[in-house]
Amino acid sequence: MKAKVLVYDVKTKKQEIVEQEIPEMPSFDFKKPLDPDKVKNVLLNAGLIADISEVEA
């Protein structure tokens, strides 16, 4: 897709906004809730819980 890009050349000190073909960028959720199963496994492996049922309760 075409996207606007501000290009700054450090050698000439000149800048311009151009249209460039760039692929669609992926989305990423920095605040995605933690996977409950992964959290349980971390707690289990760290010895903080004896079994999963403690978390389920």
- What's the token pair of residue 5? 């890009």
Residue 23 in the binding site for another protein (CB under 8 A): yes
Contact indicator for 44, 52 with CB cutoff of 8 Å: yes
**Helices (DSSP H) in 1-57: which residue ranges?**
36-45, 52-56
> Is residue 41 at the binding interface for another protein, with CB under 8 A as the rule?
no
Binding-residue total with another protein (CB under 8 A): 24
CA dist., res. 10 & res. 8, Å (int): 6
Asked if 5 is part of the footprint of another protein (rule: CB under 8 A), the reply reads yes
Nearer to another protein, 27 or 53 (CB): 27
Residue ranges in contact with another protein by CB under 8 A = 3-13, 15, 17, 20, 22-23, 25-31, 34
